[in-house]
Amino acid sequence: MSHTPDFTGLFDDGINLRGLFDILNPENNLVLADDMMLSDAKGIILRVSESYERNFGFSHDSIVGKSAFDLEADGTFSPCVTAEVIRQRKKVTATQTINHSHKNVMTVGIPLFDSAGELKFAVCFNTVSMEQINTIQRNYRHLQDSLQHYSEEIAELRTRATSTSLIFRSAPMQRLWTLMQNTANTKANILITGETGVGKSAVAKAIHAMSSRADGPFIEVNCAVLHENLIESELFGYEKGAFTGASSSGKIGKIELANNGTLFLDEIGELPAHIQSKLLQLIQEKTIERLSGTRRIELNFRLLVATNRNLEEAVQRGLFRSDLFYRLNVIRIHIPPLRQRQEDILPLAHQFLARFCGEYDRSLTFSPRLQAFLEQYEWPGNVRQLENLVERLVITCQDPIIDLGQLPQEFTGEAAPAAASGTLAERMDAYEGQIIRESFRRWGTTAAVARELGISQATASRKIAKYAR
């Protein structure tokens, strides 16, 4: 039998429903407790709260003094929770329809006993209306849908974050990402195109990471930096004694190292003609023969290639084999330059800032003015140029906030002092440096710079190291 709470003085100056609720519900764990109704043990309604009359359209005389059983019988309440509490002598929770106002409410009824165990009162609380319940359910379903959407988005972001350094918001990159996902698990050769520094290597790594070959090796070869006399041995490997200076034990080539994984040939447009022929044979047969070797080695790898050159134009000029081009150009993924996807600039910049602050143990932020500049700058060197700039700023900036004043002179448009004054040799040196930097930003490889400026690759390498590194 329930123990009666201490109601001493509760009803001295009329029935105090607010005080009654505080005694019955000390932890305040019921909702909308102002909608309350109190009856005696026979079901005669003694008091209802003002909010009860207001919310459900009752006048004081139409409900106080009435029998809960009569109100149940005439359909005013269906079911009548007060009547059920008196009948069952225990707590009752039910959805109660108040037909007078056409409302459905979740109602909790509680019996109150005296010290002898006799039922004295029944008190009901309308906790929450069915309209509110329906609203909560709709909100809950909406929340579930939102959580599902965000879970899928987070899963994709985690996949992208763990598999690649690609960061983007722009619509062109969203479409590119979808194409990458759709082609990652195919066997088709993929040609990745775009200006220097747009992230062709990052895209290739992402495709590998999303593919069924992700557990296999990813072998990247930059064809532009391999010396023409050594490129064949680097790619295909050689047996011992193949040439003067060769390792006595021979060497496995880059292509063979990519077996059961992905082979990524960057700057494919720089391949010499005789290597283009051997690569075409490799694509057709998926076998190689090492230099000075006598056996064919079967291989299983996915081929990805990239270039910043116009291969169609190179084919027309006879600089690139047309049959090889068509073999490579099964799937074309073109990465737009950074100036055509401004929405990606600040996310990339902040990613680089966080990474380099971690590497150099710095704590820096970008000023609003600098962020505006980064978004408006055209970035001829694309993502690579942005990354290099952020690293330079993290290293050199002495203030906690990186502002426009910390930008290098090549970004502010100011001429270097040596270019405007000094001896003839100093001015010529400054002018040469400007030419080398612009060419390297434009092409990104020593071979391409050498070709544009009509100098040897060795000279281009030396001058890039002097002026552009």
Say whether both 180 and 306 belong to one domain: yes
Quote the pLDDT of residue 424.
74
345 burial level (CB within 10 Å; 0-12, 13-18, 19+): buried
Give the residues across from 287 on adjacent strands.
Answer: 298
Confidence of residue 296 (pLDDT cuts 50, 70, 90): confident
Say whether both 348 and 449 belong to one domain: yes
Boundary (domain end) residue, out of 310, 336, 362: 336
Query: How confident is the model over 395-419, as pLDDT tens digits?
Result: 999 889 998 888 988 887 644 444 4
**Do residues 356 and 392 touch, judged by C-beta distance below 8 A?**
no
Quote the pLDDT of residue 47.
86
Q: Is residue 140 part of a domain?
A: no
Say whether both 45 and 113 belong to one domain: yes
66 pLDDT more than 50: yes
Say whether both 186 and 317 belong to one domain: yes
The two structure tokens encoding residue 274: 């005789």
Q: Is residue 7 part of a domain?
A: no
- For 356, residues 6+ apart whose C-beta sits below 8 A from its C-beta are 362, 390, 391, 394, 395
Say whether both 307 and 389 belong to one domain: no
Say whether both 185 and 288 belong to one domain: yes
Say whether both 326 and 384 belong to one domain: no
Average pLDDT of the chain is 81
Boundary (domain end) residue, out of 277, 306, 336: 336
Say whether both 254 and 362 belong to one domain: no
Assign residue 344 the CATH number of its domain. Answer: 1.10.8.60
31 pLDDT more than 50: no
Quote the pLDDT of residue 208.
94
Assign residue 168 the CATH number of its domain. Answer: 3.40.50.300
Q: Is residue 356 part of a domain?
A: yes
Q: Is residue 154 part of a domain?
A: no
Assign residue 53 the CATH number of its domain. Answer: 3.30.450.20
- Residue 87 CA to residue 43 CA, distance in Å, equals 10
The most distant pair of C-alpha atoms in the chain lies apart, rounded to whole Å, by 115
Domain count, the chain: 3
205 pLDDT more than 90: yes
Q: Is residue 159 part of a domain?
A: no
Of all residues in the chain, the percent with pLDDT exceeding 90 is: 41
Say whether both 348 and 381 belong to one domain: yes
Q: What is the pTM of this model?
A: 0.56
Q: Is residue 369 part of a domain?
A: yes
Say whether both 294 and 243 belong to one domain: yes
**Do residues 66 and 51 touch, judged by C-beta distance below 8 A?**
no
**What is the CA angle 439-444-450, rounded to 5?**
55
Say whether both 121 and 173 belong to one domain: no
Cα of first residue to Cα of last residue in the chain, in angstroms, is 88
Q: Is residue 387 part of a domain?
A: yes
- Residue 332 CA to residue 194 CA, distance in Å, equals 11
Q: Is the peptide bond before 79 cis (omega within 30 degrees of 0)?
A: yes
Say whether both 301 and 367 belong to one domain: no
Boundary (domain end) residue, out of 88, 118, 134: 134
Structural domain of residue 175, as residue ranges?
164-336
Q: Alpha carbon of 450 to those of 21, 339, 464: distances in Å?
A: 88, 26, 10
Q: Is residue 85 part of a domain?
A: yes
